Amino acid sequence: MKPIQGIGRGDRRRRLKNVLALGSLHLIALIAVAPLFFIFSYVIYRGVPNLNFDFFTQLPKPAGEVGGGMANAIGGSLVLVGVASLFGIPWGIAAGIYLSEYKLGFTTKALRFVTDLLTSVPSIVIGIFAYAVVVAPLKAYSALAGSFALFIIMIPIVARTTEEILKLMPQHVREAGLALGLPRWKVILRIVLPGCLSGLTTGVMLAIARISGETAPLLFTAFSNDFGFRGLTQPVASLPVQIYNYASSNDELWRAKAWTGALVLVMIVFLVNLLTRIIMKSQSSRS
Amino acid sequence: MTQSVIEGTQISSVELKIRPARVKDTHVQDRIFWMILRFISWSMIAIMAAIFILLLKLSFTSLAKFGFGFFSGTDWNPPLDIFGALPFIYGTVLSSLLAILVAAPVSIGVALFLTQLAPKPLRTTVAFLVEMLAAIPSVVYGLWGVFILVPFMQTFVQPKLIHFLGPGSTFAALAAKLLTALVYPFILIFQVFRLNFDGWSLEQTSQMMMHFSNQIFAGPAYGVGLLTASLILAIMITPTISSISREVFASVPSQEREAALALGATRWEMIRLSVIASCKSGILGAVILGLGRALGETMAVTMVIGNRNEIKPAILAPAQSMASVIANEYNEASGLHLSSLVGIGLSLLVISLLVNSIARFTIWRVERVKK
């Protein structure tokens, strides 16, 4: 933009204001992403020194002893997230199909609203709910209770992403299937879902990444232990809870382990997110 | 149908509505399929209801015993079986509001930067980085907070805050004057109607306010505390607010922006006049949604808030939030204590559902108007 000749003082002030405001917007963008770099760099800096093969294969050592790992927590997290996903993914996808494929006016709107509300229930409240449903009747902390909490957190997320993704499928694809005389369920399961497979996968992966990091609902459902998974009715450790316990301890070695645990957790989440982006991008460029 | 082919892949919502309903499904399997899906979808409502009912049932002993006093009581004393939740409500509300105060300008700024200023490659990168902030697990924020942010606050930030804004500073004096000016008229009104504050003079009021505002940034520098928790919360809710604001800003028709530019507006004036001005309620919705997220946040807050059950106007002092007290005490609680903790959980649920409903309603109304 070339300055126009003969502009008054007011114009100069306007342009100064423009430069200042736009400059501060750039600065704000920098401020917003800065914490990510701080967190990432510290997690890597503190976590990498203890990252070795033992970390994934060894059980934790008592406070003060060198060595040991978080095999119990990693295995526990796998079980908790695995069981939650086993039920949560089909459950959530089914609800998502209903929201997207059957438009029933008010009911769908109400369902969608409740699903949205369910995603905004604080995770600690879900923990209390799982405690009331599973822990209190069984009178013991258990992996089952932890999985149940994660399952409840997972289904509304999967349902809403499934709905959004299925909506992207062009309507004429469904019509083509129906016109060939296929029953609706076959159209949905054989044509619509496979067509959206990569989108669905990424949605599901994001939900898994999200529940892998949940700590609050596991504190008083799955609880923790030092020896790994011993059945669904026994308490089990998980990576986030172990990080929390170690971070709140006074033991220097445990604290160092907490950073390594955080590194593993962050890497999982980061990779899933990055992978999701790449898949989404390749898909959108294809269509 | 023809329209959607012309306009591209996006299907208008009008078209989706004319899909035949279940009545027209002739295949028996379709009815079964539909019934299974319906059962699963309705389970969402059942889960929501079950959460409410179970929490109400578990907290009933406590709520019945203390009544409204549960929410106004300032004493939380498990050994004596006295439970008042006000310190935690105070901690949650204050930390969330402070977080909003920090996060809202930053998030809206980022959203403006991304939608109005950034070139495309930068846009996708920055958007990805901001969204990554939402993906980092809460416990990692807590870990980072405890070992990095807390020492930093304790040695660098808080001593400066105490020095420049703490007791005896110009800021405290100004705040006291402002507060006196705000509060004294009400005291006069109370006196006129003989409700309370008999014989309070202006002198007394201003002394009281001085005492109050001296406390706001009073020391010592603990490191942990409300302010530190709010900063972490602010980082955590930035992606929520900025992604919703981005959607709102992106929905401004480009003709409106071009019109502003054509009239000779600078870019900032264009942003202010045609983007921000037309998105006010959308921004409000985004901020409220961020507030809802901040209210329920547990782990990071628990790790840095300091866990002390006090109500103080001091924002550097340790405090306790509703979620953090549940996380800290639930495992050791039983009987009335447990029931009271569930009561706090129930209040947290109600508050966050209310806040979220308001936010969603605001955003939904904006979207409807835009259409």
Domain coordinates in residue numbering, chain A: 75-286
**Is position B320 within any domain?**
yes
For residue B11, the chain A residues in CB contact (below 8 A) are 167, 170-171
pLDDT digits (tens, 9 = 90+) for B284-326: 999 999 999 999 999 999 999 999 998 988 999 999 999 999 9
For residue B15, is pLDDT > 70?
Answer: no
Q: To 5 degrees, how large is the angle CA B237–CA B241–CA B245?
A: 165
The proportion of chain B whose per-residue pLDDT surpasses 70, expressed as a percent, equals 92
Q: To 5 degrees, how large is the angle CA A128–CA B142–CA A276?
A: 85
For residue A155, the chain B residues in CB contact (below 8 A) are 44, 47
Beta carbons of B22 and A102 less than 8 Å apart: yes
Q: What is the pLDDT of residue A1?
A: 52
Range of the domain at B90: 69-166+217-370
* Cα–Cα dist A194/A43, whole Å: 39
Contact between B130 and A33 (Cβ < 8 Å): yes
> B299 in contact with A at a CB cutoff of 8 Å?
yes
For residue A187, is pLDDT > 80?
Answer: yes
**Number of structural domains, chain B?**
1
**Is position B238 within any domain?**
yes
Q: Which residue has the tokens 């106007």?
A: B313
Beta carbons of A121 and B137 less than 8 Å apart: no
Beta carbons of B356 and A214 less than 8 Å apart: no
For residue A205, the chain B residues in CB contact (below 8 A) are none
Choose from B143, B289, B325, B338 for mutation: most chain A CBs within 10 A: B143
> By C-alpha distance, which of B80, B85, B93, B88 is closest to B63?
B85
| pLDDT classification of B17: cutoffs 50, 70, 90 | very low
Choose from A2, A42, A128, A155 for mutation: most chain B CBs within 10 A: A128
> A262 in contact with B at a CB cutoff of 8 Å?
yes
Cα of A253 to nearest chain B Cα, Å = 14
Beta carbons of A94 and B15 less than 8 Å apart: no
Q: Which residue has the tokens 């909490």?
A: A149
> B56 in contact with A at a CB cutoff of 8 Å?
no
Residue B29, CA distances (Å) to A117, A173, A282, B36, B185 in order: 32, 21, 36, 11, 73
- Local structure of residue B341 (DSSP, 8 states): H
**Is position B104 within any domain?**
yes
The proportion of chain A whose per-residue pLDDT surpasses 90, expressed as a percent, equals 62
Amino acid identity of B247?
E
> B257 in contact with A at a CB cutoff of 8 Å?
no
Beta carbons of B135 and A209 less than 8 Å apart: yes
Cα of B247 to nearest chain A Cα, Å = 15
> A56 in contact with B at a CB cutoff of 8 Å?
no
For residue B3, is pLDDT > 50?
Answer: no
Q: What is the pLDDT of residue A4?
A: 54
* Cα–Cα dist B141/B302, whole Å: 11
B231: CATH: 1.10.3720.10
Residue A60, CA distances (Å) to A67, A69, A225, B23 in order: 8, 5, 10, 60
**Average pLDDT taken over every residue of chain A:** 90
Maximum distance among all Cα pairs of chain B, rounded to whole angstroms = 84
Phi-psi region of B168 (alpha: psi -120 to 50; beta: other; left: phi over 0): left
| pLDDT classification of B6: cutoffs 50, 70, 90 | very low
Beta carbons of A184 and B114 less than 8 Å apart: no
**Is position B73 within any domain?**
yes
Q: What is the pLDDT of residue A9?
A: 66
Q: In chain B, whose CA is at the least distance from the CA of A189?
A: B33
Helix boundaries (H) for chain A? 9-47, 53-57, 71-101, 106-119, 123-130, 136-138, 143-168, 171-179, 184-186, 193-195, 197-212, 216-219, 239-247, 252-286
The proportion of chain B whose per-residue pLDDT surpasses 90, expressed as a percent, equals 65
> Chain B neighbours among A 140-179 (CB < 8 Å)?
152, 155-156, 159, 167-168, 170-172, 174-175
> Coil, helix or strand for B42?
helix
| Residue partners of A19: CB distance under 8 A and separation at least 6 | none
User: CATH assignment of A75-286?
Assistant: 1.10.3720.10
> B235 in contact with A at a CB cutoff of 8 Å?
yes
Choose from A25, A50, A111, A119 for mutation: most chain B CBs within 10 A: A25
pTM of the model: 0.90
Q: In chain B, whose CA is at the least distance from the CA of A261?
A: B140
For residue B344, the chain A residues in CB contact (below 8 A) are none
**Run of H or E residues at B14:** helix B13-17
pLDDT digits (tens, 9 = 90+) for B93-128: 999 999 999 999 999 999 999 999 999 899 989 999
For residue A255, is pLDDT > 50?
Answer: yes
Q: Counting one residue from A and one from B, how many pairs have CB atoms under 8 Å apart?
A: 272
What's the rounded mean pLDDT across residues B321-337? 94
Q: Is the ipTM of this complex over 0.90?
A: yes
